[in-house]
Amino acid sequence: MAPEIELTIHRLAKTGEGVGSHQGQSVFIEGVIPGERARVRLVPGTKPQRAALVQIIAPSPSRRTAACPLSDVCGGCGWLHLDEAAQRDAKLEIVLSSLEHLADIGRDELQVLPIIASARQLGYRRRAVMHVRGGRLCFFAKRSRRAVPIDRCPAMADPLTELPGRLTPFLATLASEIDEVHLLAEAGRSAFALFLRVAKSRAAHRIACEQAIAGLGLSGVVVVPTEGPPTTIGDPVLRMAADPDLEVPLYLRPDAFAQSNTEANLFLVRSAVASLSAQSGERVLELYCGNGNFTFRIAKAGATVTAVEQSAVALELASRSAREGKITNVRFVQGDAGSVCDGMISERISFDRMLVDPPRTGASRLGHWADRLGVRQLTYVACDPAALARDVGRLRAAGFGARTLQLVDLFPQTPHIEAVMAFAR
C-alpha cells in the first residue's frame, strides 16, 4: 500500500486541488484548504504527484459542510466545502500567480479592482452540459470520465434544478444515440439541445423531444446530428432577462454558448465595456462576439463595431438582436478570428480599440493582430488564468501594457473565474 504522510496545505491550484509539499515536490490533494494539516496517501505513478485525502488533522476556519450529497464524487462543484470569501481569495491568488509566473507581471504592475461576487451562491447556473451514460443524464466525476448520474442539481437555476431526473425517461430509449444534452433556462423558460452520436436525426428523436416539450412544459429543443444542420422543435430560442441599460433584446439557444450566470454576466459585460471605454466615432473590433453579449453595449457608446464570430447559430441570434433593436453601427463577420484578422491586416484595415472573449484555449496570435491592426487599447475577457497569462506575455511583447484587472465570480463553488484585463500601448 502507498505510504501515508502528513502535509500542510499551502495554496489552491486552478484545478481546484490543494497543494502541499513533500521532499521538495508539490503534491496535489482533492478536498483540502490552505492552512490545513492533513494526512494523505500518495498515489504512485502520478505526474504531477497526487495524493488521496485520509484525514483532516487541523481544519481551516473556512471549511464547511457541503450543500450537495454528491459533492465528493461529482466534478461539477469542487469547492462546496470552502466558504465563498475564501473561494474568491483563492481565485484572485490563482490569477495573480499565473500572471506572475507565466507573463512576468508583478502584482504591483497593475491596478487590481475589487472582485465582483455572484448574487447567488447556488441555483445560479442557467446552462449545463450533461452526458448520457447508461440511460441517465450525468456529470463526469472529478478529473475522470466516470459518469455520475444526476437527477437533481442545486447549482442549477429554476426550472433546471429537477430537470435532469424528469427528462431522463423521455430520452432513455435513445440513450445510445445521444452524446450530450445541453440544458438552458432563462426568464422562467427552458429548452435543451440533443447532441447525437449519429450522422442524421430520426423520427424517433423528434417524437421523444415533442413528448418532452409537452410533458415538461419546455419551450423547445434543438437536435444536432454529427452531420448536417440542426433541427429545431418548438421554440428553443430564449430571450435573455432585460438589461435595464440596454434596449436591444438578446437571445440564447441551447446549442450555442452562453455564460452560465445571468446576474453575474451583466456585471461582467459592464466591467468589460467600461474598461474598453470606446468613444463615439471610434472603430472597435470585437473577436468571439457570440450572441452579442458585449457587442450592443459597445455600440451604445456610438462606436462602430466589427464583430467576428465563427458560430453560425450565435451570429443568427446576434443578427436578430440587431434587427429588432434597429442597430446600424455593428457589422457582423462570420469566420475564424485568426483568418478574419489576417484578411483585415492584408487590407490594411485599422481599429482604435479591441475587445476579445476567446475560448478556454486563449488567442495565441492576439498580440500580432492587435499590433498590425493599429489598436491602441484592448480589453481581454478570460475564463482560464493560464491561457490569459500566456496571451498577456505576447501582448507585452507587442508593446501593450497591462492597466487593470477585475475578476467576476460567475462560478461560485468551483475554481473557475472570469477575468477582465485592460491594456494600452
CATH of the domain at 409: 3.40.50.150
Which pLDDT does position 182 carry in this prediction?
98
pLDDT grade for 242, boundaries at 50, 70 and 90: confident
Which pLDDT does position 243 carry in this prediction?
85
pLDDT grade for 265, boundaries at 50, 70 and 90: very high
Question: Are 420 and 336 found together in one domain?
Answer: yes
Report the distance separating Cα 225 and Cα 199, nearest Å: 5
Question: Are 157 and 18 found together in one domain?
Answer: no
Is position 86 within any domain?
A: no
Mean pLDDT, residues 337-346: 98
Cis before 34? omega within 30: no
Question: Are 152 and 219 found together in one domain?
Answer: yes
Q: Is the pLDDT of residue 2 over 90?
A: no
Report the distance separating Cα 11 and Cα 90, nearest Å: 8
Which residues, 6+ apart, have CB-to-CB distance to 372 below 8 Å? Answer: 345
Dmax of the chain from CA atoms? 69
Mean pLDDT, residues 227-245: 93
Cβ contact 277:255 at 8 Å? no
pLDDT grade for 406, boundaries at 50, 70 and 90: very high
Is position 68 within any domain?
A: no
Domain residues for 387?
97-117+261-424
Which pLDDT does position 48 carry in this prediction?
93
Cβ contact 79:87 at 8 Å? yes
Cβ contact 355:286 at 8 Å? yes
Cβ contact 409:115 at 8 Å? yes
Cell numbers given for 76:
461539477
User: Which amino acid makes up residue 111?
Assistant: Q
Report the distance separating Cα 345 and Cα 32, nearest Å: 49
Cis before 114? omega within 30: no
Q: How many folded domains does the chain comprise?
A: 3
Cell numbers given for 381:
475577457
CATH of residue 22's domain is: 2.40.50.140
CATH of residue 134's domain is: 2.40.50.1070
Question: Are 110 and 139 found together in one domain?
Answer: no
Which of 174, 206, 239 is at the close of a domain?
239
Which pLDDT does position 216 carry in this prediction?
98
CB atoms within 10 A of CB 311: 17
Q: Is the pLDDT of residue 38 over 90?
A: yes
Mean pLDDT, residues 373-402: 97
Cell numbers given for 342:
489576417
The CA-atom distances, in angstroms, between 123 and each of 76, 143, 185, 239 are 13, 23, 12, 19
pLDDT grade for 66, boundaries at 50, 70 and 90: very high
In 3D space, the residue among 75, 79, 69 whose CA is nearest the CA of residue 32 turns out to be 79
Mean pLDDT, residues 224-245: 94
Question: Are 278 and 147 found together in one domain?
Answer: no
In 3D space, the residue among 421, 409, 422 whose CA is nearest the CA of residue 90 turns out to be 409
Which of 205, 239, 273 is at the close of a domain?
239
Q: Is the pLDDT of residue 193 over 80?
A: yes
Mean pLDDT, residues 410-419: 97
Element (H, E) at 231: strand 231-234
Q: Is the pLDDT of residue 1 over 80?
A: no
| DSSP 8-class letter at 349 | -
Question: Are 389 and 293 found together in one domain?
Answer: yes
Is position 244 within any domain?
A: no
In 3D space, the residue among 126, 143, 156 whose CA is nearest the CA of residue 16 turns out to be 143
Mean pLDDT, residues 134-140: 94
Question: Are 7 and 108 found together in one domain?
Answer: no
Which pLDDT does position 361 carry in this prediction?
95
Cβ contact 35:9 at 8 Å? yes
pTM for this entry: 0.95
Question: Are 146 and 224 found together in one domain?
Answer: yes
Is position 364 within any domain?
A: yes
Report the distance separating Cα 187 and Cα 69, nearest Å: 28
Cβ contact 111:405 at 8 Å? yes
Cell numbers given for 289:
462576439
Mean pLDDT, residues 349-359: 98
Question: Are 180 and 298 found together in one domain?
Answer: no
Is position 122 within any domain?
A: no
Mean pLDDT, residues 85-99: 97
Question: Are 140 and 276 found together in one domain?
Answer: no
Question: Are 49 and 160 found together in one domain?
Answer: no
The CA-atom distances, in angstroms, between 90 and each of 50, 109, 296, 413 are 20, 20, 33, 12
Full DSSP string of 393-416: HHHHHTT-EEEEEEEE--STTSS-
Q: Is the pLDDT of residue 143 over 90?
A: no
Is position 327 within any domain?
A: yes
Burial 119-129, CB ≥16 within 10 A → b, else e: eebbebbbbbe
Length of the chain in residues, anyone?
Answer: 425
Question: Are 110 and 151 found together in one domain?
Answer: no
